[in-house]
A = this chain, B = another copy of it.
Amino acid sequence: MTATAPRTPTKAQLLELVAALGTAQWQDFAAAAARHGLTSVQAKLLSQLKGPVPMRGLATLLVCDASNVTGIVDRLEARGLVRREPDPADRRVKNVVATDEGHETIRRVRAEMQATHSALDTLDEEERTTLYGLLERLRPGLEHRG
């Protein structure tokens, strides 16, 4: 048995590796956010704002109680990174939108995830394509709310 024939990992081994990389990736994101004075949750909220999203929708996306979103958006709004807008169709709803500065800030956070970037840079184009395909297969199962 030479080094060129990788053995099948056990489920436990694969789970541990996935967990370790998930954690490392999350810490990399948190560190990049911190350099911009953002907590990881604030940055995560900002990264969800490709368009207007109701407060309640943000709670669902962040997997937390709706009452928490008030404070998180308050702090982002005080810094001028997001805005609350009334919903034209339902006066109970407030839609949150990122300001230009908000979009620019989260763009920089993503660009500064050094550990994640340098890790992906170790793969060649074919490996990246393979990895992307496999991760896309995992996505539906992993994001399903059980």
Indicate the member of A12, A110, A142 with the most B CB atoms within 10 Å.
A142
Annotate A123-146 by CB proximity to B: 1 below 8 A, 0 otherwise.
Answer: 101011111111111111111111
Contact B123 A6 (CB under 8 A): no
Q: Which of A11, A21, A29, A137 has most B Cβ within 10 Å?
A: A21
List A residues 88-130 near B (Cβ within 8 Å): 110, 113-123, 125, 127-130
How many copies of this chain does the complex contain? 2
Interface residues of A in 1-40 (CB under 8 A from B): 6-9, 11-15, 17-29, 31
Contact of A78 with B by CB under 8 A? no
Q: What's the tally of chain A residues with a CB closer than 8 Å to chain B?
A: 59
A44 at the interface (CB under 8 A from B): yes
> Roughly how many angstroms separate A28 CA and B141 CA in the complex, as a whole number?
11
| Complex Cα–Cα for A6 and B129 (A) | 7
Contact between A142 and B116 (Cβ–Cβ < 8 Å)? yes
Q: How far is the CA of A35 from the CA of B47 in the complex (A)?
A: 28
Q: How far is the CA of A127 from the CA of B135 in the complex (A)?
A: 11
B136 pairs with A130, CB closer than 8 A: no
Among B12, B121, B135, the residue within 8 A (CB) of A21 is B135
| Residues of A that sit less than 8 Å from B by CB | 6-9, 11-15, 17-29, 31, 44, 47, 63, 110, 113-123, 125, 127-146
